[in-house]
Structure 1
Amino acid sequence: MNIGTEYLKIVIERFKSVKALGDKTIEQLSEEEIHWRMNDYSNSIAIIAKHLSGNMISRWTDFLHSDGEKPDRNREIEFADDTISKKEMILNLEKGWSVLFKTLESLNETDLLKDIYIRGEKHLVIDAIERQLAHYSYHIGQIVYIGKQLKGDNWESLSIPKGKSESYLQEMLKKHKP
């Protein structure tokens, strides 16, 4: 077993898990709900998704060879409230995830200790991966939180529903019993 290879497998699964939380939330929401904002200083799910995609495309395109903040990225536009459809938002977000997964799947253990740059700041590849995992988890958490608040009693839980912890634990123990 090689730790670098195992790390890459694990981190790809972590990104897929984070993506799944966002996907399952967005599936529950209407066209109107993806554009809901608490106030002018808040971001809608559509805006957060646009930012995530812009960040992913910038960071993961030509990952090992160019700065992660690409000259053609306009981060400020990512936070503009345009009224794209839910379908367009999902396609745009999928484009970002696709770039991320294609890049991660192309890396090997020797890449993990290479230097890359984000806004001119040097990072080890492994650090850049962890930085982006934290960043995307933060924003997906926002999406889930907003979705959960909007759906209220109609929210379909993405994990163990309230009051079901003990039965879930017993089920898992039976399933994984040696």
Structure 2
Amino acid sequence: MNIGNEYLKVVQERFESVKNLGDNTINQLSEEDVHWKVNDTSNSIAIIVKHLNGNMISRWSDLLTSDGEKPFRNREQEFEDDISSKQEMIIMWEKGWNAVLSTLNELVDQDLLKSITIRGEEHTVLEAIERQVAHYAYHVGQIVYIGKQLKDESWESLSIPKGKSEQYLQQKLNKHRAQNNGH
């Protein structure tokens, strides 16, 4: 087993898991929900998605050959909610994630220790990936939190619902036992 290839597989799965949390939240929200914000200094889900899109396109385009902060990026403009619809927001969301996942899919283990820059600061590709995992998980966590607050009682849990931990564990153990007995 090659540790670099295993890392790339695991980190791709991690990014996909983070994306799925966002997908499953966004799917529960209305047009109005994605633009809601608690106050003027907060970000709506639409703004968070727009910021993620800008970051993802900038960081992952030409990852190995150009600075991660591209000249075309206007970070300040990412925090203006000029998204016309939930559908437009979803297109931005998918475009950003496509940049991340397709670039990750093209990387090979030898790329992980290559040196790249983000805002002129040197990082290994491995460091840059970890930086983005943390950044995206942070913002998707915000999306989930906002969505959960907005949907309240109608929220469809994305993980183990409160009070269901033991039931969940038993289902997992039973599934594992059935798989092992079948082999």
Q: How many residues align?
A: 178
C-alpha RMSD of the superposition: 0.7
Unaligned runs of 5+ in 1: none
Determine if the alignment matches structure 1 residue 15 to structure 2 residue 15.
yes
CA distance in 2, matches of 1:111, 1:48: 30
Q: Displacement, 1:82?
A: 1.4
Moved over 2 A (4+): none
The answer for unaligned runs of 5 or more in structure 2 is: none
Q: 2:25 maps to which residue? A: 25
Q: Deviations over 1:32-53 (max 9, x none)?
A: 0100011110000000000001
1:124, 1:131 → 2: CA distance?
11
Q: Matches of 2:152 and 2:64 in 1, distance apart? A: 43
Q: Distance in 2 between matches of 1:111 and 1:78?
A: 30
Distance 2:80 2:49 in 1: 12
Match of 2:69 in 1: 69
8 Å Cα contact 2:68/2:117 also seen in 1: yes
Return the TM-score normalized by structure 1.
0.99
Match of 1:169 in 2: 169
Cα deviation, 1:112-138, whole Å, max 9, x if unaligned, reads 000010000000100100000000000
3-state SS of paired residue (2:32): helix
Partner in structure 2 of residue 141 of structure 1: 141
Contact 2:83 2:89 in 1 (8 A): no
Q: Percent identity?
A: 70
TM-score by length of 2: 0.96
